[in-house]
Structure 1
């Protein structure tokens, strides 16, 4: 199974958030149910690409007993892959409720780091992508990216 970032987001959206291990297990189940196949060996690269594009964001839970969750990010168009609708029953995971404000703050911090990196690298393509992401991020979470956009615009001039 070759999952796209939007399909990863679709699987994650079924639960509200998944750890990386849970996401891998869910995708293995989908691949098996689809055709008895397995998950593409580039899954880690696909997850990293989804995080870089903000299709997925990492949410560090405030409690020590749970790890970070991957959640649907502001640029995703979640698409539930065929054979995935029964995953909540198969994996027996309860839907997770997230603190949207804390999630927005963490995503914004990650966004600022991405802006810093793109500015330091002088990567105009990444700066332009992040400018678009800034609008998606504001619509997705209760944050203000005005200062970040000014920095991005300055880097693009």
Structure 2
């Protein structure tokens, strides 16, 4: 599943834990008559986090995944049924909190980035500034030095 689809699923709820998202993906596969491969699902989620389609925030003593700054959330086929299937209460995350989390994550990633990854992260900084109230000029400068 691509990053935009994963973002669409978590957006249905405002955010999901990894376990809840895993359960949602299993339920979605069942509803669609598809085989569910937990390893593939885990790899898809990890990739979406790495590429900023999803962002992990700490919320109510748990880590919750929310749509990230590069995502254009879209719902996969049959996903609209998920809120009726999963026992998950809607969540909300403040934009200021998201700004803090994305800044910290980009600063950390920028410290180790080079080449293609650094160029990708520069693009992410622009997306993040449009997505949340955050200024990332200093992160771009760090990435330009790489």
Regions of 4+ moved over 6 Å = none
For structure 1, list consecutive stretches of 5 or more residues without a partner in the other structure. none
Asked if the contact 2:13–2:89 (Cα under 8 Å) also holds between the matched residues in 1, the reply is: yes
Aligned CA distance change for structure 1 residues 134 and 36 (closer, same or farther; 3 Å): closer
Aligned CA distance change for structure 1 residues 36 and 125 (closer, same or farther; 3 Å): closer
Name the TM-score, length of structure 2 as normaliser.
0.94
From 35, 39, 42, the equivalent of 1:41 is: 39
Asked if the contact 1:58–1:107 (Cα under 8 Å) also holds between the matched residues in 2, the reply is: no
Name the TM-score, length of structure 1 as normaliser.
0.88
Q: Larger Rg: 1 or 2?
A: 1
What is the Cα deviation at residue 101 of structure 1? 0.7
Instruction: Please name the residue that 2:95 is paired with.
Output: 100
CA RMSD of aligned residues (A): 1.2
From 30, 52, 55, the equivalent of 2:53 is: 55
Instruction: List aligned pairs for 1:108-127, cutoff 5 A.
Output: 108-118=103-113, 123-127=114-118
What is the Cα deviation at residue 41 of structure 1? 2.6
SS in 2 for 1:58: strand
For structure 2, list consecutive stretches of 5 or more residues without a partner in the other structure. none
SS in 2 for 1:143: coil
Distance 1:42 1:135 in 2: 30
